[in-house]
C-alpha cells in the first residue's frame, strides 16, 4: 500500500451519511459568498505531506469552506494559516502559506491528517463518526509507522483519535487514558520496541487563536519539542 492509493481510497469514502450530506450540500449550495465562483472539493480530505514522515500531525476535521473547498488538508482557512506558518517556522514546510493545491507547498518530515476526514456541521463530528473515520487514521499510521517518531495532536479529538489508533496498532497506551492538554506528552511503546511520542497542542481553530488561548509562541514551543523528539 502506498500513500497515493490510501489518498485515492479515502477521497471516495461515503461511510458517514450525515457528513456525506453536509460536505456535498455545502459544496453545491452552501458556499461562502466570497468563494461562490470557485469549484468545491466536497469530499473527504486526504492526508498531505511527506510519505516518509517522522512527525504525524492529527487535526480535528476539514472546515466546510477550507479543506472541503480546496481538497487539501488545512488549506484555505485560518486554522491552516496558523498551522502551516508554524510548520514553516519549525522547518517542516517550504513556505508559510497554504492557499490551494498546486501552490508549491511541500512538507518534509511531516504529514498532516485529520481525525475525521469530512467537514462536520458546526465542526462537531459525532462519536460514531469519529469511530468510523478511525479506519483512515489506521491506514495513515500503517504507512508512516516505519519512520514515525512522534504524533502531534491538535485538540482533544485528535488526541483521543491518536490514542485509539495507537491501541489498534498494538502500541502500549497507559491506563487510565492520558489526559489531553497543551504540552501534554506520552510515550507509546510499539511491539518492536520503538517509542512513539504523542504530543498535545490546543487546536489552531479561530476560537483559540482569536482569543489568545493559543499563541504562536505556545504552538512553536510544542513544535520545538516535536523536533527534539523527532530529530528533524
Binding site for ligand DU (CB under 6 A): 49-50, 106-108
| Shortest Å, Cβ 109 to ligand DU | 8
Q: Say whether residue 15 binds ligand SF4 (CB under 6 A).
A: yes
Pseudo-torsion of CA 136, 7, 109, 73, nearest 10°?
-80
Calpha distance 167→31 (Å, rounded): 38
Site string for ligand SF4, 30-49 (x = CB under 6 A): --------------x-----
Considering beta carbons, is residue 87 or 116 the nearer one to ligand SF4?
A: 116
167/10 Cα distance (integer angstroms): 21
What is the distance, to the nearest Å, from the Cα of residue 199 to the centroid of all Cα atoms in its chain? 13
Nearer to ligand SF4, 53 or 161 (CB): 161
* 170 dihedral zone (left: phi>0; alpha: psi -120 to 50; beta): left
CB 114 within 8 A of CB 129: no
The 3-state DSSP class for residue 87 equals helix
Of the residues 19, 27, 63, 166, which one makes contact with ligand SF4 according to CB under 6 A: 19
Residue 136 or 171 with smaller CB distance to ligand SF4: 136
Can you give the binding site for ligand SF4, defined by CB under 6 A?
10, 13-16, 19-20, 44, 116-118, 129, 132-133, 136
Amino acid at each position: 500500500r502506498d500513500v497515493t492509493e490510501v489518498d485515492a481510497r479515502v477521497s471516495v469514502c461515503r461511510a458517514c451519511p450525515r457528513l456525506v450530506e453536509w460536505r456535498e450540500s455545502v459544496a453545491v449550495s452552501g458556499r461562502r459568498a466570497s468563494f461562490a465562483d470557485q469549484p468545491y472539493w466536497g469530499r473527504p480530505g486526504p492526508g498531505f505531506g511527506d510519505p516518509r514522515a517522522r512527525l504525524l500531525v492529527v487535526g480535528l476535521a476539514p472546515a466546510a469552506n477550507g479543506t472541503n473547498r480546496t481538497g487539501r488538508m488545512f488549506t484555505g482557512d485560518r486554522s491552516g494559516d496558523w498551522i502551516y506558518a508554524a510548520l514553516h517556522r519549525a522547518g517542516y514546510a517550504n513556505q508559510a502559506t497554504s492557499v490551494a493545491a498546486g501552490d508549491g507547498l511541500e512538507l518534509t518530515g511531516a504529514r498532516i491528517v485529520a481525525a475525521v476526514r469530512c467537514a462536520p456541521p458546526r465542526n462537531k463530528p459525532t462519536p460514531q463518526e469519529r469511530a468510523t473515520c478511525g479506519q483512515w487514521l489506521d491506514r495513515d499510521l500503517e504507512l508512516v509507522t516505519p519512520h514515525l517518531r512522534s504524533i502531534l495532536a491538535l485538540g482533544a479529538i485528535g488526541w483521543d483519535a491518536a490514542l485509539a489508533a495507537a491501541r489498534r496498532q498494538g502500541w502500549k497506551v497507559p491506563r487510565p487514558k492520558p489526559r489531553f492538554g497543551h504540552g501534554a506528552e506520552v510515550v507509546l511503546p510499539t511491539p518492536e520496541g520503538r517509542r512513539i511520542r504523542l504530543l498535545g497542542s490546543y487546536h489552531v481553530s479561530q476560537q483559540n487563536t482569536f482569543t489568545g488561548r493559543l499563541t504562536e509562541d505556545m504552538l512553536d514551543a510544542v513544535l520545538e519539542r516535536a523536533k527534539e523528539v523527532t530529530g528533524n
